[in-house]
Amino acid sequence: MKKLKKRWGVKSNWQLFVIFLVFAITGSSAAKLASPLTNLIGINPQDHHWLIYWPIRILIILPIYQVLLLFFGWIFGQFSFFWNFEKKMLARMGIFKLLDI
């Protein structure tokens, strides 16, 4: 835990707990919201092969996750941590290169 706290610049165990809580809530919420969205566009596991359904579902989850991570980070008072985390994650995914930022 000490290495993680040092790497993330976290001061207390409480702040680390809140960060883990935000990650858990965000992941669960994004996964839950993806199902109605895939059904809305007509993609469901009963009618489509899993090789079609799951990549589309994952592509839907990714932007939802990004937005929810910042939202729940803000709700729990950790917006600056998650904003920096988002910037690093998007840079590693090459999104900034695509947007020419």
How large a percentage of the chain has pLDDT more than 70? 93
In tens, the pLDDT along 16-38 reads 999 999 999 999 999 899 888 88
pLDDT at position 100: 60
First to last CA, the chain: 34
Q: In this model, does residue 68 exceed pLDDT 90?
A: yes
The structure's pTM equals 0.81
* Per-residue pLDDT at 101 exceeds 70: no
Q: State the average pLDDT over residues 86-92.
A: 84
Which range marks the domain in which residue 34 is found?
A: 2-99
The answer to whether the CB of 33 falls within 8 A of the CB of 64 is yes
Query: How many whole angstroms separate alpha carbon 15 and alpha carbon 22?
Result: 11
How many separate domains does the chain show? 1
